[in-house]
Amino acid sequence: MDLYEHQGKELFAKAGIPVAAGRVAFTVAEARAAAEALGGRVVVKSQVLTGGRGKAGGVKVVSGPDEAAAAAEAILGLDINGHITRRLWIEEAVAIDREYYASVTFDRAAKMPLMMLTTMGGMDVEAVARDHPDRLARLHVDPALGFRGFHAVQLMSAAGIPVDERKAVGAMLAQIYGVFVAEDAMLVEVNPLVILDDGTLLAADSKMTIDDNALFRHADSSAMRDVAAADPQEQAAHEADLAYVKLDGDVGILGNGAGLVMSTVDVVAQAGGRPANFLDVGGGASAEKIATALGIVLSDEKVKSVLFNIFGGITRCDEVAKGLLGALETTAVRAPIVVRLDGTNDVEGRELLERAARPEITVEKTMLEAAATAVRLAREAR
């Protein structure tokens, strides 16, 4: 789950990382009131779950409430990389001298958190990595060891942080790593990490991604989810505790087990089609569970056919067939469903479906045949 800048800064503040005082605003009037309360110069910042707001005109430094209102007027509704601005963060402006960059993310290949630091902050870190790779210091941190003083020293000397700043920057690096661990984050990025005119440090921006699988132990960050900004299918799947990933094709995919669903996605592509989603219904076969999963897939308008792929192990295919028939009693089905049942009690399962003779169901014996039929039906519906 991605956090808004202001939410990330809330977690930063809790961890002792210095941030400027600010307020959230959803309207021009709230933006004006926030600027009045904060007094003097403020920064009006678009809150969207994407980067590059500065370049897109989503960050404006202003000198008072009137200008803050005008900036809010301009930024509310602003489209930044396809994300419409619906909320603002109004923050006390600071006198920036230099802009650095610091982050912690996962390096899956190394199986360790990776810290990065550069004095070339404020801009796109990808551009720094491409054009000035020698200026981007990178260091893995063994999670069993945690972040130690020598990590800070190594990073800061490789990045060329001035010696008189190292005590403060090193302390902030430790805090950033601390937030990454404490919040079960996948990413913590501070860009820019600013050095103010008076020499103090501040996190002027925050980008955080929390591991969805850890949200159950973070009531405060779970509550930060912006339901309105979430994709409706992803939100429904999240609430039903189903593993769902939206893709951009028109063949809806349901299966039991992540591996099977992934191969179903591949087989649909092999048959010349485009998967609309990945949905793992998991074990068991209750009509209720299947109905929920089917409902989520069918609520995506782009779905023109559904491929229901089950391999029965502990889950019995006849139970799945009963569940599916039960689900059809409660779910309005607006697209054809192709079913492939294989494994435990598959013959009985197919018999049940054939006997029911539901017009919306086509039964196929193999995964490849089922994919070909689902792809053909989707094409015919276009």
Catalytic residue among 99, 189, 319, 364: 189
Nearest to 372 by CA among 327, 307, 316, 320: 307
Q: Between helices 5-14 and 166-182, what is the axis angle to 10°?
A: 110
| 177 has catalytic annotation | no
Amino acid at 304: K
Q: Is 191 in the site for ligand GDP (CB under 6 A)?
A: yes
Q: How many CB atoms lie within 10 A of CB 271?
A: 19
Nearest to 180 by CA among 153, 146, 149, 150: 146
- In the bound complex, what is the minimum distance in angstroms from residue 363's beta carbon to Mn ion? 53
Sort strands 243-246 and 207-210 into parallel, antiparallel or unpaired: unpaired
Candidates 190-198, 242-250, 259-267, 362-370: pick the segment binding Mn ion (CB under 5 A): 190-198
Q: Is 52 in the site for ligand GDP (CB under 6 A)?
A: yes
Q: Is 345 in the site for Mn ion (CB under 5 A)?
A: no
Q: Which of residues 63-122 bind ligand GDP (CB under 6 A)?
A: 91, 93-94, 96, 99, 122
Of residues 191 and 277, the one with the C-beta less far from ligand GDP:
191
Q: Is 53 in the site for ligand GDP (CB under 6 A)?
A: yes
Work out which of 205, 250, 300, 318 binds Mn ion, going by CB under 5 A. Answer: 205
**Alpha carbon distance 182, 14 (integer Å):** 11
Report the Cα 8 to chain-centroid distance in Å: 14
Work out which of 7, 191, 206, 264 binds Mn ion, going by CB under 5 A. Answer: 191
Q: Is 128 in the site for ligand GDP (CB under 6 A)?
A: no
Catalytic residue among 101, 183, 319, 364: 101
Which residue has its beta carbon closest to Mn ion? 205
Q: How many CB atoms lie within 10 A of CB 28?
A: 18
- In the bound complex, what is the minimum distance in angstroms from residue 373's beta carbon to ligand GDP? 46
Q: Is 284 in the site for ligand GDP (CB under 6 A)?
A: no
Work out which of 8, 65, 192, 255 binds ligand GDP, going by CB under 6 A. Answer: 192
**Alpha carbon distance 137, 26 (integer Å):** 38
Q: Which residue ranges make up the site for ligand GDP (CB under 6 A)? A: 20, 43, 45, 51-54, 59, 61, 91, 93-94, 96, 99, 122, 191-192, 204-205
